[in-house]
């Protein structure tokens, strides 16, 4: 009996140690709103952001600031009717009008319609640089990996193993290069904007809305500190021919908005970078 008890305790301790090793929220982030945690079958920590009409927005933001890096996370989005919600994974230097920001925003849908991924780059307060894509899978059925690579030459957006966008740095044009940024994940009410340009607001009878995050990864240069080992892999990363092929595939098959094609929004002429790609 004593041996059996000791064996059970040993297994429990091993599982606890494994879970602790894979815990990342409390070590690296502060939280806001209703944030719950659990563990999946492999011992990987799962962080769940909850949104209802009473609780308001929820999120977590990194304790450290970064200047360049590779950041990824696995997300499982809201099932069913998520119209009006916005689920985010992004970097930001702050809330001021001159901020830098790199966004991956998932705009909720009414049932049966694709979830839209909005990618955007802000540089010194200029943020009208969106590329939007219909996701080609159900992002609520399982976890998918979303990645941002930010280096001095370009910003790369990746879904699972496919690059879908490159925002290049051009001489004389704004680019996020000097303002340290924190990593954020948020879930909030974007009824005024998120779904069909605000035509379909949140239906609170479907609340609570839950987005799950797991397997957070960052290899980045900490502001005022050193870069992590292996930073050369992403610091010098630019797309090769095959990777540009996946970008063109995403643009051709799933892009629903490209700011470089929106002459109505830019009556004085398209942004200068649009003519340099």
User: What tens digit of pLDDT does each residue of 78-94 get?
Assistant: 999 999 999 999 999 99
Question: Which residue, among 276, 89, 76, 92, has the nearest Cα to 166 in the 3D structure?
Answer: 276
What would the 3-class secondary structure string for the chain be? Answer: CHHHHHHHHHHHHHHHHHHHHCCCHHHHEEEECEEEEEECCCCCEEEEEEECCCCCCEEEEECCCEEEEEEEEEEECCCCCCCCEEEEEEEECCCCCCCCEEEEEEECCCCCCCCEEEEEEEECCECCCCEEEECCCCCCCCCEEEEEEECCCEEEEEECCEEEEEEECCCCCCCCCCCCEEEEEEEEECCCCCCHHHCCCCCHHHCCEEEEEEEEEEEEEECCCCECCCCHHHHCCCCCHHHHHHHHHHHHHHEEEEHHHCCCCCCCCCCHHHHCC
What are the pLDDT digits (tens) for 167-180? 999 999 999 999 99
Per-residue pLDDT band for 31 (boundaries 50, 70, 90) equals: very high
pLDDT of amino acid 28? 96
Q: What is the pLDDT of residue 44?
A: 93
Residue 199 lies in a domain: yes
Q: Which of 70, 97, 101, 130 is catalytic?
A: 101
CB contact set of 215 (below 8 Å; sequence gap of 6+): 44, 72, 73, 74, 143, 145
Contact 68, 220 (CB under 8 A): yes
Q: Is 105 known to be catalytic?
A: yes
Task: Average the pLDDT over 40-56 and give the result.
Answer: 95
| Selected catalytic residue, list 70, 97, 105, 196 | 105
Residue 5 placed within a domain: no
Summarize pLDDT for 168-211 with one digit per residue, the tens.
999 999 999 999 999 999 999 999 999 998 999 999 999 999 99
Determine the pLDDT at residue 4. 56
Q: Could you tell me if residue 17 is inside a domain?
A: no
Whether 73 is in a domain gets the answer: yes
Question: If you average pLDDT over residues 135-164, what whole number do you get?
Answer: 97
- Residue 275 placed within a domain: no
- Three-state DSSP class for residue 19: helix
What CATH number does residue 156 fall under?
Answer: 2.60.120.200
Q: Let me know if residue 1 belongs to a domain.
A: no
Predicted confidence (pLDDT) at residue 40 exceeds the cutoff of 70: yes
Q: Name 158's bridge partners.
A: 147, 163
Query: What is the chain's mean pLDDT, rounded?
Result: 92
145 within a domain of the structure (yes/no)? yes
Of 55, 82, 44, nearest to 213 (Cα)? 44
- Please state the domain count of the chain: 1
Inside any domain, residue 72:
yes
Query: What integer pLDDT is reported at residue 227 of this predicted model?
Result: 87
Please state, in angstroms and rounded to a whole number, the distance separating the CA atoms of residues 62 and 77.
21
Residue 208 preceded by cis peptide, ω within 30: yes
Over residues 140-160, mean pLDDT: 98
For residue 97, indicate whether it is catalytic. Answer: no
Q: Which domain holds residue 130?
A: 24-261
Provide the token pair at 17.
């140690």
């Amino acid at each position: 009996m004593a041996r059996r008890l000791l064996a059970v305790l040993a297994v429990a301790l091993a599982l606890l140690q494994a879970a602790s090793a894979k815990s990342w929220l409390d070590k690296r982030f502060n939280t806001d709103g209703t944030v719950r945690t659990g563990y999946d079958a492999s011992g990987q920590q799962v962080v769940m952001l909850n949104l209802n009409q009473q609780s308001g927005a929820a999120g977590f933001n990194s304790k450290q600031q970064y200047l360049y890096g590779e950041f990824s996370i696995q997300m499982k989005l809201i099932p069913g009717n998520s119209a009006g919600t916005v689920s985010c994974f992004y970097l930001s230097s702050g809330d001021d009008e001159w901020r830098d920001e790199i966004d991956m925003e998932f705009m909720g849908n009414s049932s049966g319609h694709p979830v839209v991924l909005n990618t955007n780059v802000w540089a010194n307060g200029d943020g009208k640089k969106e590329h939007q894509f219909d996701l080609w899978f159900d992002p609520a059925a399982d976890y998918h990996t979303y990645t941002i690579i930010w280096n001095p030459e370009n910003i790369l957006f990746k879904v699972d193993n496919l690059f879908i966008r490159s925002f290049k740095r051009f001489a004389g044009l704004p680019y996020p290069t000097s303002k340290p940024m924190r990593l954020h994940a948020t879930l909030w009410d974007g009824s005024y904007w998120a779904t069909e340009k605000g035509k379909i607001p949140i239906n609170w009878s479907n609340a609570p809305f839950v987005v799950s995050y797991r397997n957070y990864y960052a290899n980045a240069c900490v502001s005022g500190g050193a870069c992590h080992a292996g930073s050369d892999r992403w610091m010098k990363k630019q797309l090769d021919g095959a990777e540009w092929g996946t970008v063109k595939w995403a643009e051709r098959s799933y892009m629903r908005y490209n700011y470089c094609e929106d002459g109505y929004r830019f009556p004085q002429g398209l942004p200068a970078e649009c003519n340099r790609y």
